[in-house]
Amino acid sequence: MLFSPALNLRACLIIVLVAINFATAPSLPAAAPMALPAPMPVRAGVSGANLPVLYSFQPENGKATGGAVLVVPPAGNANGEGAQFGRWLSEHGVAGFVLGDATTPADVTRALQYLRAHASDHKISPNRIGLLGLAAGAALAADAAYNHQSEANPDASDPVEKVSSRPDFMALVWGSTPPAAGAAIPPPTFLVGSSRAADGQSGMIDLWTQLRAARVPVDAHFFAKADASSGLGGDNHSLSAWPDMFLTWAKFMGFLTDGPRVPLRGLVTVDGRTIPHGYLILAPVDFVGAGPIAAQILNSTAGVPLGQFSVAANLGAVPGRYRVDVRENMTRWISNSFTGALAPLRGGNEEQAWFAHHRPLAPSVADQLSFTKVRPGDQQDYIIEIKPDAAANMDLKIAVFSRDTSPPAITVTDADAALAGFSQPPQNPGQLAYVEQLKAHPPGPVPGIPEPLLLWPEGAPGAIPDSNGVFTDEDKPAIYAFPAPAGNNTGAAVLVLPGGAFTNRGMDNEGVQVAKFLNRNGIAGFVLRYRLSPNYPNRATSTLDAHRAMQYLRAHAAEFKISPDRIGAIGFSAGSELEGDAFFNSVLPGDPAAADPLDRISTKSNFNILIYGGRNLSAAIAAVSPPTFQFNTLEDNGHLGVEVSVMNALRAAGTPVESHFYQYGPHGTSMSLGDPELGQWPELMVKWLKTGGFLDRQPAQ
């Protein structure tokens, strides 16, 4: 073990600031010199040139949270990024203390001890003091926190030395220092670095690996290009996002309040029926420093009752009143647990084969639905109260309605089951819920969903009919086209590959809702209906469909008003694996002699976006791959490793890659719109596209 457990005995309460909404929060501009407050020496009675001092930026009366951050800027830059960030902290209720003239780790440890010893004088909490370093200041801060930490010494004659120098949280931006053998276990950490080898920040990626191994909670964000002079990001669309991300991280983690947090568990229903996929967002009503709380409802892989959510105590709510926002991503869900139980009903594979051809894998919700009132006609928002007693919050019933009148009751009959592909009534709760969803929201046209465009109108290669010789939609690869609005068209386009373990497709949450989000940002979205197991178990078939879709988009670029050299791909889970197959590992240049005109077109994507998944890359493939964006969580152990491997391969090859890895969140979180933490990545993706120049040019109209 690299880190010593000696200092891991007391709980880490992290300080920091009131978070603002990530998508709308203004970014900090480029730093310019600014006036500094009067300096405070950290060594009483000692004066002279080049001695470390603190510049205090205090919140206004009535806005202070009691939190404090020690900001360590590069040497000589206290009046630049240091002062600007210190002032920004104070504007958000946090005392910012900028360390000036620090040259050694001892200067940093002394400043932390000084703040803790004089906490009451500065009206801050002694157990919510954080440390944030920028560039060379980050290296100095890390060295102090890891390798030169001063423990509390009750017998010291100097009152400052009676307290510990351990920060309650730490953020390292554009720099780091490796911990020595036996270094103390760090507090929860926020990392911001560059993935480009030329920027010399590979030590930050190494540090992230070490922190994960030591089970230190850590969010890590590695941008495609950012040297030590990047500071607060300035006008760079991507880099300027990190301060807002930092604030959101601290608020989401609950480090702004001393209040105890309690776990939550309950059930969410819409119109009396449990939702299969969505989010419950709880925003505090009449107190600051806590929340919002985000609870995922991901019953496709969670192995829990349909509609159930749960939040652990470390991410739970501080008791009080909260405003409810239910986000529904789909109204019906087909998961492996449902389909896997079908085969035994007829004593073999006949019913499974029938279901594979006829199951309705079309969208059921065109865009994420938001419910903030119990009923639409209500005047008041939906408010619940979280109780101090944890047991009182373990059976919450969150019920919202899409109409003011009571919805009709759902009774499942044998005929309903037969229409759903069952030869007898459902045999388990999952099957019953599926049939109920199907009856409440039957297959058919959904408002806002275009007719699919067949990639092979005369029949796809290798298509397999059912036992009656019928080719169903599941045998006909197609795309759903969502062109960008005419007044907001950048000319960029994205082929969307939904996930589903190659046995299903999340056409709502990982398909049309992604395309609709892209449209809102001036980007055309095209959702791929690719072929699946068990009828098409060979991954080469899915890859063929993905290749054909890219060729189709390029061939029809003028029709869709998109630029043929700005077409990328985004994949989710199995869709990201398909992306790895089709747009990394088996790109086709196009055959000029092919009889089919589409086969003469290259399948190469101009950029790739991998969402919780991918495929390993060879060095040769990484060297010719396009710029890549990644998102995943550390909890997604089954898919994190391949994304780390992809990032490292692209870095080594010099291919631009931006990667965002969050600590908390299960597999399959989709776009997470409404989630204050995980819901950041779609906006980060758009910023990345802007930074890369993919949204700059307008197509010919």
> Does 592 share its domain with 491?
yes
Banded pLDDT at 350 (limits 50, 70, 90):
low
Would 434 be classed as within a structural domain?
A: no
pLDDT tens figures, 485-542 = 998 999 999 999 999 989 889 999 999 999 999 999 999 999 999 999 888 989 999 9
pLDDT at 288: 73
pLDDT at 636: 93
Check pLDDT > 50 for residue 5. Answer: no
Among 232, 253, 274, the domain boundary falls at: 253
Give the burial string for 475-503 (b: 16+ CB within 10 Å, else e). Answer: bbbbbbbbbbeeeebbbbbbbbbbbbbbb
**C-alpha to C-alpha distance for 9 and 529, rounded to whole angstroms:** 52
Check pLDDT > 50 for residue 78. Answer: yes
> Are 490 and 573 a contacting pair, CB within 8 Å?
no
> Are 514 and 527 a contacting pair, CB within 8 Å?
yes
pTM value?
A: 0.92
Would 449 be classed as within a structural domain?
A: no
> Are 607 and 628 a contacting pair, CB within 8 Å?
yes
Q: Of residues 614 and 411, which shows the higher confidence score?
A: 614
> Does 208 share its domain with 119?
yes
Q: How far apart are the first and last CA of the chain?
A: 61
Check pLDDT > 70 for residue 318. Answer: yes
> Does 329 share its domain with 181?
no
pLDDT at 696: 84
Would 70 be classed as within a structural domain?
A: yes
pLDDT at 338: 46
> Are 253 and 14 a contacting pair, CB within 8 Å?
yes
User: Within 13 Å, how many C-alpha atoms sit on residue 140's CB side?
Assistant: 25
For residue 360, give the CATH number of its domain: 2.60.40
Q: Which range among 240-244, 332-336, 621-625 has the greatest average pLDDT?
A: 621-625
> Does 298 share its domain with 238?
no
Percent of the chain, pLDDT > 90? Answer: 65
Cis peptide before 5 (omega within 30 of 0): no
pLDDT at 167: 94
Q: Of residues 172 and 248, which shows the higher confidence score?
A: 172
Check pLDDT > 90 for residue 652. Answer: yes
Banded pLDDT at 12 (limits 50, 70, 90):
very low
pLDDT at 421: 65
pLDDT at 478: 98
**C-alpha to C-alpha distance for 522 and 582, rounded to whole angstroms:** 25
> Does 509 share its domain with 618?
yes
pLDDT tens figures, 259-296 = 889 999 999 999 988 888 999 999 999 887 777 899 99
Beta bridge partners of 190: 171, 219
> Does 208 share its domain with 300?
no
Q: What is the mean pLDDT of the segment spanning 435-458?
A: 86
> Does 477 share its domain with 537?
yes
What DSSP character marks residue 585? I
> Does 369 share its domain with 339?
yes
State the residue range of the domain holding 60: 53-253
Would 166 be classed as within a structural domain?
A: yes
pLDDT tens figures, 84-127 = 999 999 998 889 999 998 899 999 999 999 999 999 999 999 98
For residue 624, give the CATH number of its domain: 3.40.50.1820
Query: Which is it for strands 308-311 and 264-270: parallel, antiparallel or unpaired?
Result: antiparallel
How many distinct structural domains can be found in the chain? 3
Would 658 be classed as within a structural domain?
A: yes
Q: What is the mean pLDDT of the segment spanning 566-595?
A: 97
**C-alpha to C-alpha distance for 437 and 460, rounded to whole angstroms:** 31
> Does 572 share its domain with 664?
yes
Among 192, 227, 253, the domain boundary falls at: 253
Among 191, 224, 253, the domain boundary falls at: 253
Q: Of residues 370 and 415, which shows the higher confidence score?
A: 370
> Are 193 and 223 a contacting pair, CB within 8 Å?
yes
pLDDT at 342: 42
Banded pLDDT at 427 (limits 50, 70, 90):
low
Check pLDDT > 70 for residue 6. Answer: no
pLDDT at 2: 56
> Does 622 share its domain with 681?
yes
Would 37 be classed as within a structural domain?
A: no
Would 16 be classed as within a structural domain?
A: no
Would 417 be classed as within a structural domain?
A: no
Banded pLDDT at 214 (limits 50, 70, 90):
very high
> Does 98 share its domain with 192?
yes
> Does 550 share its domain with 628?
yes
Q: Of residues 568 and 423, which shows the higher confidence score?
A: 568
pLDDT at 14: 31
Average pLDDT, the chain: 87
pLDDT at 24: 33
